[in-house]
Structure 1
Amino acid sequence: MVMWWLSSQPKGQRQVVVSILPSFICWHIWKARNKAVWEGISLSSGDICHGIIQDVVLAVSSEVNRWNLLPFFDQFFDRLSEPPMPLQCKIVRWRAAGTRIATLNTDGCSKGNPRASGGGGVLRDSEGRFLIGYSVCLGVSTSLLAEVLALLAGLRFCHQRGFTQVRVQSDSLVLVGILQCWFQCSWQIRREVFHIWQLAEDSGHFSHCFRETNTVADILANEGLLHPLVQMKIYNHPCMLPQLARGALRLDRSGFPSLQLLKRTPA
């Protein structure tokens, strides 16, 4: 066993596993001994080996998502020699919904679903110039309800400021599907969705965007959690926005691309 541990292995994660394995073996044998002596619990060799493999897999964290925990160490060790699956990505950018049309990006968040939630949004012209922004505290709600309330608050706010012809972008595919009548609307949000339809007048005004292109609204939605005593906070100028939102706003306007990570596929 010592000769195997000290033998040269190909560089990479197999070598890492070989180097850390003795420590995990000794540690789990020591824990099993203490359980037997002090707690009267006898662990089988299979239980000890399972714990060792589990800790090794967690140590090689980049491989955890590639497969489920294998029951035998030799299977796990052999799998480490396989080449990793390529990670695919897609270049995405924020784009206005149309020329000479204001674009409203909205987002909602719930820290627990349901739990404390917030919403936010930003209105920009077709050149990406900032018009208005807002963040809102939504109390306790689910993620979908937070998305709906954040959008409804944004449309009402835009109408109050005289922006009646806007196009909405949301990274919630479920919400966009409901507003475009692709999905059935749940009774819990039916009243709010009806009010959104009244303000928008056309289901074609809603479109889905990638989360990577909805960063400004996402930051403002999380900002809504930070001012529970002020239900709605208005941003009339870019300098009033949180620092991260200002940076994301500039990147969006310059057309700076973001990388959207896609699911791994076999090579």
Structure 2
Amino acid sequence: MDGSSRGNPGAVGIGGVLRDNSGKVLRMFSEFVGILSSNSAELLAIHRSDSLCANSTFFYGKDLDFVSDSKVVDPWINSEGLGSLNHVQLIYDIWVCLNSLRNGWVIFNTRSSNSFADQLVKKGSGHEGNVLFRDFQ
């Protein structure tokens, strides 16, 4: 998943791709979420990803890695830093979703690993329409 703002603050798009172990796309999303900061964009992308999974019994009890490229936001989610007071409620909501999944984790990976999510984010921040695709029950 990824979040991006065109300016800081600016037009924010979020997007993400959920794949199984073989790389098959199970779900993807892209959406415009408003005029916000870049850190808000990253947090909203994480929240959208984990809440989509938490609201589906399909993922319950499965190991899920939520991969993010934010060196700033990832430590906030993983309790390695205090985070921003402006984002406390959103960080708490992310923790609740991750805990409901039982095996959900946010991990850091470099930007080069999420080119597909990056394309979805650009569509969202450019107001090109919201997309939600799912291939499972």
For the aligned pair, the TM-score class normalised by the smaller chain equals: 0.7 to 0.9
1:135 pairs, out of 22, 26, 30, with: 30
| Offset, 1:214 | 1.1
How many Å separate the matches in 1 of 2:88 and 2:114?
25
| Closer/same/farther in 2, CA of residues 207 and 145 from structure 1, 3 Å limit | same
Look up the match of 1:198.
96
User: Which 4+ residue blocks in structure 1 deviate beyond 3 angstroms?
Assistant: none
Q: 2:84 & 2:33 partners in 1: Cα distance?
A: 19
Query: Partners of 1:197 and 1:111 in 2: how far apart?
Result: 27
Structure 2 residue aligned with 1:215: 115
Aligned partner of residue 196 in structure 1, secondary structure: helix
SS, match of residue 116 in structure 2: helix
Could you tell me how far apart the structure 1 residues matched to 2:81 and 2:103 are? 13
Query: Take 2:2 and 2:23, find their aligned partners in 1: how far apart are those partners?
Result: 18
1:186 maps to what in 2?
84
In the TM superposition, what are the counterparts of 1:92-241 in structure 2 within 5 Å? 106-162=1-57, 163-164=59-60, 165=62, 166-201=64-99, 205-227=105-127, 230=129, 232-236=130-134
Hey, what's the Cα distance between the residues in 1 that align with 2:20 and 2:133?
Answer: 15
Note if contact 2:54-2:98 (Cα within 8 Å) is conserved in structure 1.
no
Cα distance, 1:128 vs structure 2: 1.2
Describe the shift of the 1:203–1:158 C-alpha distance in structure 2 as closer, same or farther (beyond 3 A): closer
Rg: which structure is higher?
Answer: 1
Bigger strand share? 2
Conserved in 2, the CA contact under 8 Å of 1:174 and 1:183? no
What RMSD over aligned residues (CA atoms) do the two structures have, in Å?
A: 1.9
**1:214 alignment partner, SS class:** helix
Structure with the largest fraction of helix:
1
- The normalised TM-score by structure 1 is 0.46
Secondary structure of the residue aligned to 2:72 is helix
**Structure 1 position 203, deviation (Å):** 9.4
Q: Which 5+ residue runs of structure 2 have no aligned equivalent?
A: none
What letter is aligned with 2:121?
Answer: A
Residues 133, 146 of structure 1: CA spacing in aligned structure 2 closer, same or farther, 3 A cutoff?
same
SS at match of 1:140: strand
Q: Distance in 1 between matches of 2:103 and 2:91?
A: 11
Stretch of structure 1 that moved more, 158-167 or 122-131: 158-167
Which letter does structure 1 place at the counterpart of 2:107? S
